[in-house]
Amino acid sequence: MTAEGLPMVVPAQDLPARVRIHEVGARDGLQNEKSAVPTQIKAEFIRRLAGAGLTTIEATSFVHPKWVPQLADAEELFPLVSGLGAALPVLVPNQRGLDRALALGADRVAVFASATESFARANLNRTVDESLAVFEPVVRHAKDEGAHVRGYVSMCFGDPWEGAVPLHQVARVCTALRDMGCDELSLGDTIGVATPGHVLELLSLLNEEGVPTNEIGVHFHDTYGQALANTLAALQHGVTTVDASAGGLGGCPYAKSATGNLATEDLVWMLHGLGIETGVDLGRLTATSVWMAAHLDRPSPSRTVRALSHKDQ
C-alpha cells in the first residue's frame, strides 16, 4: 500500500531522543490465549522479537499453573531464551514465584498490583493493602538478590466495576510500590479508557509525590483507540519507557481480534516518524507478528501489521 520512505521522519519539539519499548506480547499477550501456545513456539517468538531489535522482552510469569495454565511452562521456557542479549523480565506473584524465577537466573522481575479494590479482589483475591503486604517481602528479597523490580499498577485510569478511579488512589499504590523498592512502575490503563489530559495529570501528580518520570513506564490499551494519543502525551511529559505488545496480542476476551494492548508496530511507526530511536527493525517485527498470527490462526489487530503485510502481497 505504501511506497518506500514512509513514514517521513519529522521530529517534534521536546520529545525524548530514544524510547525503550517494554515488549509484553509473550507474557501479557499469550496468557490471554484460550489454549496454551507450545513452548517451542513461545521460545521462537521471543527469539524473533529479540532479532527484530527489542531489548526488553517480558518472557513469562511464575504464577501458579492453576491460575494461568497458558504460562505453566515457565520453567521450560525461560532457559530456552536466556542468553539472547535481551533483558527478560518475568512476572512473580509471590515469594514462591520469585524463588522459582531466581533459581533459573532471572534478574528482572515484576509484581502486579491494582489501583482499585474491585480488581484487586477479582484478580488477586485480596484487598489492595493485603496485596501490597504480600509484595513487600517479595520486592525486598528480589532487590537483595540484585534483581531489577518493576511494579505494575493496573486500572490506573478507570475500572470496569468502579468507573472513575481517583488519581490520589493511584498515586498511593504507586508510591507504596516505590517505597518498598520497585525500580520502575508501569501505569496500566487496563480497560483502555484514558485520554491524554488524564495521562498528563497522573504523571504530574506522581512527580509531585516524588516519583521521577524516568522511573515511570506507561501501559496503554487500545480498546477505545486511545493508546497512541495517550502515548504521545506521555512522551511529551518525558516518559521514555512504553509497554506494547507485538501485533497487538492480548486483546479483550470478548471479541475476535478485538484490541487490547497497544500494538508494538503501531507504536514503532509513530516513534520512527518522530525520529525517536527504538532499535527496532519494523519489517522484521511485522514479519514476526504475521508469523505468530498464522500460528494463532487469526489476523493481527495491529493496523500497521495489516497495512504492511497487505503491502507485501
Q: Give catalytic residues, as residue numbers.
A: 252
Measure the CA–CA gap between 301 and 294, rounded to whole angstroms: 13
Phi, psi of 312 (to 5 degrees): -80, -10
Q: Which is nearer to a copy of itself, 112 or 269 (CB)?
A: 269
Alpha helix locations (H) across the chain?
39-51, 74-81, 95-103, 117-119, 128-144, 167-179, 196-208, 227-237, 264-273, 282-296, 303-311
Q: Which is nearer to a copy of itself, 181 or 196 (CB)?
A: 196
Closest distance between a copy of itself and the C-beta of residue 233, in Å? 7
126 touches a copy of itself (CB under 8 A): no
* Distance set, CA 160 to CA 23, 82, 285, 305 (Å): 25, 37, 32, 29
With CA atoms as reference, report the closest residue to 310 among 296, 290, 295: 290
Q: Candidates 28, 58, 184, 266: give the one binding a copy of itself (CB under 8 A).
A: 266
269 touches a copy of itself (CB under 8 A): yes
**Sequence-distant (≥ 6) Cβ neighbours of residue 1 within 8 angstroms:** 307, 308, 310, 311
Say which residue the cell 501458579 belongs to: 64
222 touches a copy of itself (CB under 8 A): yes
**Do 156 and 192 meet the contact criterion of CB atoms below 8 Å apart?**
no
The alpha carbon of 130 is separated from its chain's Cα centroid by a whole number of angstroms, namely 24
275 touches a copy of itself (CB under 8 A): yes
53 touches a copy of itself (CB under 8 A): no
Measure the CA–CA gap between 11 and 109, rounded to whole angstroms: 34
Measure the CA–CA gap between 285 and 55, rounded to whole angstroms: 13
**Total residues binding a copy of itself (CB under 8 A):** 60
Q: Residue 43 class from Cβ within 10 Å (0-12 exposed, 13-18 middle, 19+ buried)?
A: buried
Instruction: Report 183-212 residues binding a copy of itself (CB under 8 A).
Output: 191-198, 200-201
Segment contacting a copy of itself by CB under 8 A, of 62-70, 119-127, 162-170, 209-217: 162-170
Q: Candidates 17, 34, 85, 254: give the one binding a copy of itself (CB under 8 A).
A: 254
Closest distance between a copy of itself and the C-beta of residue 90, in Å? 29
Measure the CA–CA gap between 107 and 114, rounded to whole angstroms: 23
7 touches a copy of itself (CB under 8 A): yes
Segment contacting a copy of itself by CB under 8 A, of 20-28, 45-53, 171-179, 296-304: 296-304
Closest distance between a copy of itself and the C-beta of residue 264, in Å? 11
160 touches a copy of itself (CB under 8 A): yes
294 touches a copy of itself (CB under 8 A): no
Cell of 109: 522481575
Q: Candidates 24, 124, 228, 239: give the one binding a copy of itself (CB under 8 A).
A: 228
**Do 11 and 44 meet the contact criterion of CB atoms below 8 Å apart?**
no
277 touches a copy of itself (CB under 8 A): no
Instruction: Report 77-116 residues binding a copy of itself (CB under 8 A).
Output: none
Phi, psi of 6 (to 5 degrees): -115, 145
Residues at the interface with a copy of itself (CB under 8 A):
1-8, 10-12, 15, 157-165, 191-198, 200-201, 222-226, 228-229, 231-233, 252, 254-255, 258-259, 263, 266, 269-270, 272-275, 302-304, 306-307, 310
